[in-house]
Amino acid sequence: MPFDFDTPIDRRGTASLKWDFCERVHGVSGVIPMWVADMDLAAPPVVVKALRARAAHPVYGYPMVPASFWQAAAGWFKRRQGWDVNPSWMTLAPGVVPALNLCVEAFTRPGDKIVIQTPVYHPFYSAIELNGRRIVRNPLRWDGRRFVMDLEGGEAWRDPRTRMLILCSPHNPVGRVWTREELIALEAACAARDLVVIADEIHGDLILPGHAFTPYATISPAAAARTVTLAAPSKTFNVAGLGTALAIASEARLKDLFDARIQSAGLNVNSVFGLAACEAAYAGGDAWLDALLSYLDGNAAFAERFAADRLPRLGFIRPEGTYLGLLDCRALGLSQMELNDLFLKTARVYFDPGTKFGEELRGFQRINIGCPRAQLREALERVAGAVAGRSRP
């Protein structure tokens, strides 16, 4: 069936973080928000139907997790990623970020060191530092075409207090879909130091045409034995507000430690609506996702062409996965604050500043292309106008 990704949906005044934040916090109205990673696209009809059906029952008490939920999730990973996940490996969590914090607590001790590949999703930093652990930066390297891993860890990797690596796959914000060969090389580095790997694969279903996703735990049995994978329907199906995620560990010791943290934190009560939405998406969301990926690829191509034609001083780094691209604004010669002001206050477009993810992206802006194409066009037109206006004497 056809799916409509072009019709705008008005989200203003719905307590939407994405749409109401700028006016409430920055005092700037009329802004097109192209920042936080949720899409301005309706959830799949199969999800909306499931939520309406569940809402029609007027009692919303404590839910049990039906066997059909685990079957739907396992079926999804098998169909979409070629990964045979035993339902017994899975644990529900209220979100990937809470699960990430629980993993830090479960598998490391205060003072331990944790490797992250910067620039990276900003909650990685807080999950480490706010839990009393120490960050080991392993910066990605720009090879002139895309960001690549640089696995030279130096003394910090060999320090016995370095216990964990948190992998972002696909990578947010640089949009890389790591190849199997890259992940094999990473696994060799982690195995040599016996690091636990927490694989944040929340964007693992958002793989654009021409690229292939490899779940880290499928690299080898040895990799699986040291890996906890975090996944969720939230980005894929635009249901982040429903707070349902999965932690997947085939190694019983890791799963038991994670489950114990879930219990001790009192996070073992699940969302009635999250369960309904997640099961419906995993059981019947394939056709919608296929259509979405084609649409997002079209948006990426449009942004790339627009930047080449109308923003010659800015570069657009097209994502291989996710719906998050990067605008390279370094040629404008502006400080990060000046750059932010140019876009927010002059163009009335709100991006995520690159430094939110690490100093490696100073002079960059992250742009969310998960929206109707007309919205993307209008945002880029505003940017072009602001940049041209600044260039005029």
Closest CA to 43 of 317, 235, 275: 235
Pairing of β 352-353 and β 364-368: antiparallel
In terms of domains, do 23 and 96 share one?
Answer: no
Q: What is the DSSP string of 230-262?
A: EE-SHHHHT-GGG--EEEE-SSHHHHHHHHHHH
pLDDT digits (tens, 9 = 90+) for 170-191: 999 999 999 999 999 999 999 9
Average pLDDT per 10 consecutive residues for the chain, totaling 393 residues: 92 94 91 97 98 98 97 98 98 98 98 97 98 96 93 82 97 98 97 96 98 98 98 98 97 98 94 98 98 98 98 96 97 94 96 97 97 98 94 58
Domain presence at residue 140: yes
Q: How many CA atoms lie within 13 A of 228 on its CB side?
A: 31
In terms of domains, do 277 and 369 share one?
Answer: no
Domain presence at residue 3: no
| Confidence (pLDDT) at 287 | 97
In terms of domains, do 79 and 215 share one?
Answer: yes
Last residue of a domain, one of 283, 316, 335: 283
| Confidence (pLDDT) at 156 | 78
Beta bridge partners of 148: 141
CATH number of domain containing 382: 3.90.1150.10
Q: Which domain holds residue 261?
A: 61-283
pLDDT digits (tens, 9 = 90+) for 20-37: 999 898 899 999 999 999
In terms of domains, do 71 and 154 share one?
Answer: yes
The 10 Å CB-count burial string (b at 16+, else e) for 60-71 is: eeebeeeeebbe
Domain presence at residue 56: no
Closest CA to 371 of 309, 292, 285, 314: 292
| Confidence (pLDDT) at 75 | 98
| Confidence (pLDDT) at 155 | 77
Residue type at position 97: V
In terms of domains, do 278 and 293 share one?
Answer: no
Pairing of β 141-142 and β 147-148: antiparallel
In terms of domains, do 263 and 216 share one?
Answer: yes
Last residue of a domain, one of 283, 303, 321: 283
Domain presence at residue 8: no
Domain presence at residue 76: yes
- Looking at the structure of the chain, the number of domains it has is 2
Domain presence at residue 91: yes
| Confidence (pLDDT) at 1 | 59
Last residue of a domain, one of 268, 283, 298: 283
CATH number of domain containing 151: 3.40.640.10
In terms of domains, do 260 and 293 share one?
Answer: no
